[in-house]
Amino acid sequence: MNISRVNSNHCLNAPKRNSKTVFCHRLATHFEDLSNELLLDIFDFLDGYHIFEAFSNLNNRIQHLVTSSYFLLKLNISFMSKSNFNRRSINIIRPYMNRIISLQLSETFFIKNFFTSFPVDTSFNRLESLILNHLNIDHSGPILISLAQLPRLFSFTIFCYECNELFIIFQSIFRLPVLRYAQILCSNWGSRFLFPLATSDSQRNADGNSRCRTLLDEFSSPFWIERQLFFAHSHYYQFSQEVHLAFYSTQMRRRYCCQIDGPLDNNICLYQDPVFYLSSGPGISMKNRNIVANFPFQFPYVTALELIDNYYTINIDSFIDNLSHIIILTNITYLKIPFNNQLLNNFVKLLNRMPNVQKLILDVRPSSEMEVSSDQQTNTADLVCNNNVQNVIITDKLALTTVQLINKLFPRMECLEIQSRGDALISFVQTLLSNRISNNHLFSLMFYGDNAMINQLITMIDNEKLLDNYNIERRWLELCLWW
């Protein structure tokens, strides 16, 4: 949630300060001494929940500033625990509904719960922008239809997965009385292509650096840059000898991920594309055997990393050192990585060098059930207890003995998704909830299941009193246990 300032004409009741008077009488040495104008500028950079919860009771002046009627709100309400949602609903959302001008919500069942607690009516009479992420359209028709009651909704953005009832979206859009902007994103309309817009590999037997530099320099003038047209090149092997040069146009905003899975040789071409590190996008996928010393390219803006091969047979310290010369490890917020018991120690060392990873996908290999000894668990927890991983996805079956290890490895984990099926999931959930004392941040479990599993979970949780206030919701083919 963010808080925005409105025009000064609307802030008639706001106490104002003359900057000359402030410096004549007293130099501001404490946060609460700052002028209203400076406070408002600072608040623009802070999460709105933090503003209310941290500053509203700092002193009477700041409390009046934050709670005044001219202070309009932008709420970005991400998926959160039920206790946090209930507390913020009572203290922040409900008292200030008529001051909300922008609202962003995520996850189908969370959106459903929000609009159950806060139905669309005249209380949202100032709402101008609405963004709904990860919405199941087929089960959200009443919510979309009710949006026609919003008198000032100028902007509407919706992202959905599978959508079999697309006409519901268009019906709701056409009924909005003052809508000026609408954006609809649906994942089953097609995937993003990793390869550029146009490609030509007709140039063969490229003459190394000279040919590449001459070719690319012709397209580096302001004429091309001003039109956001960028060009890059790639080299390919054929029969281990002949080199092919691919020259292509690319656009930064359309290219999401760079995939490096072929052999690379520094002797082929030492000329680096001027905009290659920009046009590659925020994500990179690499085979571990390509992460070598003197790698010819650098990707300083990459934030998402996918490692493809096993890395338990390599020297992990050298591997990390080589990787740190290709990307900035502290920039990585998304990591997908192979995982099994042979990789455990290497995984710990690597994750320890990426303290800002928030979303982690563990690609569990079928040959392993991640079994480790109790001594390894203790040492592992000591090494990585300060990581910031919040969302964990595990792609295969886990042994129950790893549940406590996961809690220790990721002490700030909020959401855990298990992409496997089977009756063992009941025991998994039971063990995980029984050991929640080691992780008080966790509030969501997602896994595949049917109605029979829902009944088993409810019986198990209620009989053993594992949770007091919880919901089990459907999320497409998955179940979500939310508390």
Reported as a single tens digit per residue, the pLDDT across 255-276 is 445 666 555 444 445 444 444 4
Give every strand in the sheet of 181-186, ordered side by side: 2-3, 73-77, 100-106, 129-135, 155-160, 181-186
Comparison of pLDDT for 474 and 320, the residue scoring more: 320
At 167, is the pLDDT very low, low, confident or very high (cuts 50, 70, 90)?
confident
pTM of the model: 0.71
Helix axes 344-352, 316-324, angle to 10 degrees: 30
Asked whether the beta carbons of 287 and 312 are under 8 A apart, the reply is no
Reported as a single tens digit per residue, the pLDDT across 59-99 is 889 888 888 887 888 888 888 898 899 998 998 899 989 98
At 389, is the pLDDT very low, low, confident or very high (cuts 50, 70, 90)?
very high
- What whole-number distance in Å separates Cα of residue 356 and Cα of residue 329? 9
Largest Cα–Cα separation, the chain? 80
pLDDT for 415 beyond 80: yes
Mean pLDDT of 289-303: 83
The predicted structure's pLDDT at residue 451: 85
Q: Cα torsion at 214, 216, 221, 223 (round to 10°)? A: 130
Domain ranges of the chain: 2-189
Reported as a single tens digit per residue, the pLDDT across 427-450 is 888 888 887 776 789 999 998 888
Asked whether the beta carbons of 413 and 442 are under 8 A apart, the reply is yes
Mean pLDDT of 323-327: 92
At 104, is the pLDDT very low, low, confident or very high (cuts 50, 70, 90)?
very high
The predicted structure's pLDDT at residue 347: 84
DSSP track, 333-381: -EEEEEE-GGGHHHHHHHHHT-TT--EEEEEE-TT------HHHHHHHH
The predicted structure's pLDDT at residue 461: 94
At 27, is the pLDDT very low, low, confident or very high (cuts 50, 70, 90)?
low
Mean pLDDT of 360-372: 66
Token pair of 111 as six digits: 């959106």
Asked whether the beta carbons of 390 and 359 are under 8 A apart, the reply is yes
- What whole-number distance in Å separates Cα of residue 322 and Cα of residue 314? 12
DSSP 27: -
Reported as a single tens digit per residue, the pLDDT across 189-247 is 444 333 333 333 333 333 445 556 666 677 677 776 666 666 665 555 555 544 455 55
Q: What angle do CA 198, 199, 204 make, to 5 degrees?
A: 160
Please, what is the average pLDDT of the chain?
Answer: 75
The predicted structure's pLDDT at residue 7: 41
The predicted structure's pLDDT at residue 190: 42
At 187, is the pLDDT very low, low, confident or very high (cuts 50, 70, 90)?
low
Mean pLDDT of 363-370: 60
Please, which residues have CB within 8 angstroms of residue 179's CB and are 6 or more apart in sequence? Answer: 153, 154, 155, 156, 173
pLDDT for 392 beyond 70: yes
